[in-house]
């Protein structure tokens, strides 16, 4: 017995009109007639009396309708419940973050969990010097990251925020008391870079090798984490670039954060392994994007930042 035949019978028994039945089922009237002939052939009797002016159920059709309706409704309900369950997300989604989960990172988590109460988020810190290692190893499912993303095996969502940079300096450094510095002045400040397998483009974002005009920027030491970098800065062993929200999260008495103008913005988004994309990853991306849209410019930059 074909499910489509039964569905067509039920709709025709309500409409008693082939054209309206066809319209409801997105079929042609000829296809409706074909399905009914097939069903009547399977049953072995006529279910409808058809004339040029009217369609009505035969006594056999009325008895078949009375028997079929409860069974069909139960079957349709089971299918709908299964579809709903299939769309529900369950289990644990592991989300990577860099250095500091700001209020918007945690806000994205809360937004996702509100939408998907059966799925919990586990936040996992990702090393600054190896932003994609845990992602590729399957230790996290999705991670906040710098954009643009130039990794062939990874996929990413859209821009979630765009913020400026600050230069972390020891409070004893001659530039520490400045209200701001230009990017070209970085040529006189040895920058602390990263030690690890991060992509070259990532190294350049954290510690550019040249100023916008091409002047070389000297190198200081190399670190693997933000805390290591801050320690080196506090000891006066070099400066280190931080996006503005990170600087806000890491205020300390022995480090000054000086805004830098003239550098490309720090852009953050999400990344995941293309071959491991799941419904939960897509749903988390949607929640983060919705939160970013709600915290669009004009609502306060401090609240709309998704950065490490």
DSSP state at residue 174: T
Q: What are phi and psi of 141, to 5 degrees?
A: -95, -30
Q: What is the pTM of this model?
A: 0.68
- 3-state DSSP call for residue 83? helix
Helices (H), 180-300: 200-206, 226-234, 244-249, 279-294
pLDDT tens-place string over residues 248-294: 889 999 999 999 999 999 888 999 999 888 889 999 999 999 998 88
**Dihedrals phi, psi of 22, to nearest 5 degrees:** -60, -40
For residue range 12-61, list pLDDT tens digits in order: 999 999 999 999 888 999 999 999 999 999 999 999 998 888 999 999 99
Check if the beta carbon of residue 287 is closer than 8 Å to that of residue 301: no
- How many helices, marked H, and strands, marked E, lie in the chain? 10, 14
Determine the Cα–Cα distance for residues 9 and 19; give it in Å rounded to an integer.
13
Helix axes 3-15, 18-25, angle to 10 degrees: 130
* Bridge partners (DSSP) listed for residue 50: 55
């Amino acid at each position: 017995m074909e499910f489509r035949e039964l569905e067509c019978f039920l709709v025709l028994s309500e409409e008693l009109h082939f054209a309206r039945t066809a319209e409801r089922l997105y079929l042609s009237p000829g296809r409706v007639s074909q399905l009914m002939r097939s069903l009547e052939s399977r049953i072995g009797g006529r279910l409808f009396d058809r004339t040029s002016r009217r369609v009505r159920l035969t006594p056999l059709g009325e008895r078949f309708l009375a028997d079929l309706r409860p069974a069909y409704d139960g079957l349709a309900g089971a299918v709908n419940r299964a579809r709903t369950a299939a769309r529900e997300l369950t289990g644990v989604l592991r989300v990577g973050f860099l250095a500091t989960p700001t209020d918007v990172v945690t806000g994205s988590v809360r937004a996702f969990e509100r939408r998907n109460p059966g799925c919990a988020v586990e936040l996992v810190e990702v090393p600054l010097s190896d932003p994609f290692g845990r992602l590729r190893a399957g230790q996290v499912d999705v991670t906040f990251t710098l954009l643009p993303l130039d990794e062939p095996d990874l996929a990413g969502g859209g821009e979630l925020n765009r913020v400026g940079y600050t230069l972390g300096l020891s409070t004893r450094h001659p530039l520490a008391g400045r209200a701001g510095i230009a990017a070209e002045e970085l040529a006189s400040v040895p920058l602390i870079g990263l030690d690890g397998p991060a992509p070259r483009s990532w190294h350049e974002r954290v510690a550019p090798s040249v100023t916008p005009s091409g002047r070389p920027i000297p190198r200081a030491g190399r670190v693997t984490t933000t805390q290591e970098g801050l320690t080196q800065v506090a000891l006066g062993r070099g400066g280190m670039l931080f996006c503005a929200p990170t600087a806000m999260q890491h205020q300390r008495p022995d480090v000054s954060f000086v805004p830098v103008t003239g550098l490309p913005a720090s852009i953050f988004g999400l990344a995941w392994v293309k071959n491991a994309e799941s419904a939960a990853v897509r749903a988390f991306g949607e929640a983060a994007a919705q939160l970013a849209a709600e915290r669009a410019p004009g609502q306060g930059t401090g609240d709309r930042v998704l950065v490490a």
